């Protein structure tokens, strides 16, 4: 059966119902590109919903020093203390 190149999709029917589509290769590749772009946009929206967290290099350096000295829990406890202080759970 000869195939003619058209820019219109050909719909194949079985038992009176559409069951397949024949597309021009350029249209097919464009659809794949659009799907990929849509996935990329969904991923970007997802990662942009998370707040970015920055830690200063000085803070990270001090944390590394404390951890190396066996005082890694010090900063975690300090942060918890500061949060409780800020919320009014404890007073200075």
What are the strands, taking DSSP E only, across 1-92?
10-14, 17-22
Question: What are the residues facing 17 on neighbouring strands?
Answer: 14
Which pLDDT tens digit goes with each residue over 53-83?
Answer: 776 777 777 778 777 777 667 666 777 778 8
Q: How many Å apart are CA 54 and CA 65, to the nearest integer?
A: 19
| Ordered DSSP codes for 12-61 | EEETTEEEEEE--HHHHHHHHHHHHHHHHHHHHHHHHHSPP----HHHHH
Q: How many Å apart are CA 54 and CA 52, to the nearest integer?
A: 7
pTM for this prediction:
0.40
Any idea where the domains of the chain sit in the sequence? 10-49, 57-87
């Amino acid at each position: 059966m000869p195939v003619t190149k058209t820019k219109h999709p050909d719909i194949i029917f079985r038992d009176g119902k559409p069951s397949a589509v024949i597309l021009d290769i350029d249209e097919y590749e464009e659809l794949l590109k659009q799907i990929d772009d849509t996935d990329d946009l969904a991923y970007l929206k997802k990662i942009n919903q998370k707040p970015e967290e920055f830690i200063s290099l000085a803070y990270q350096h001090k944390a590394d020093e404390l951890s190396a000295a066996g005082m890694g829990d010090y900063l975690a406890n300090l942060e918890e203390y500061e949060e409780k202080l800020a919320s009014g759970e404890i007073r200075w």
